[in-house]
Amino acid sequence: MSTPDTPLWEVFIRARQGLHHRHVGSVHAPDTTLALQAARDVYTRRGEGVSIWVVPANAITASDPVDKDMLFEPASDKIYRHPTFYDIPDDVGHM
């Protein structure tokens, strides 16, 4: 439960060098130090990560679902924006 003393934090974990941090879930904690420790204890128990970010959930500004069509529909018929028409050399690795 989120209380004034233990706000919600969103957790982002980088699985290994070269990848970016991905959102994995959230934890409750009173401050940044314990939020990082809680994220470590809850989300890296099976060797999932090499780096953790925690972000106060209330610091995230989210798009409104009502605006879905206005924001995202215009992109749906513009396939030429996808980089699928190029061959990526194997040596490039993760993009």
Partner 1 sequence: MASALFNSLVAWADDQLVLGHRLSEWTGKAHVLEEELALANMGLDLIGQARNLYQYAAEVENAGRSEDDLAYLRSERDYRNLLMLERPNTDFAHTMLRQFYYAAFMQRYWQALTGSRDERLAAIAAKAVVELQYHRRHSAEWVIRLGDGTEESAARMTDAVNTLHRYTGEMFDTSADLRALIDDGIATDPHTLRTEWEADVRSVFDRATIAWPEEEPPTQRGGRDGIHTEFLGLLLAEMQSLHRAHPGQTW
Binding site for partner 1 (CB under 8 A): 6, 27-30, 33-34, 37-38, 40-42, 45
Q: To the nearest whole angstrom, how small is the minimum distance from the Cβ of residue 18 to partner 1? A: 23
Q: To the nearest whole angstrom, how small is the minimum distance from the Cβ of residue 27 to partner 1? A: 5
Q: In terms of CB distance, is 21 or 40 closer to partner 1?
A: 40
| CA distances (Å), origin 94, targets 18, 49, 73, 75 | 7, 17, 28, 24
Q: To the nearest whole angstrom, how small is the minimum distance from the Cβ of residue 19 to partner 1? A: 23
Compute the distance between CA of residue 53 and CA of residue 32 in angstroms, rounded to an integer: 10
Nearest to 8 by CA among 30, 23, 40: 30
| CA distances (Å), origin 43, targets 6, 17, 33, 88 | 18, 17, 15, 33
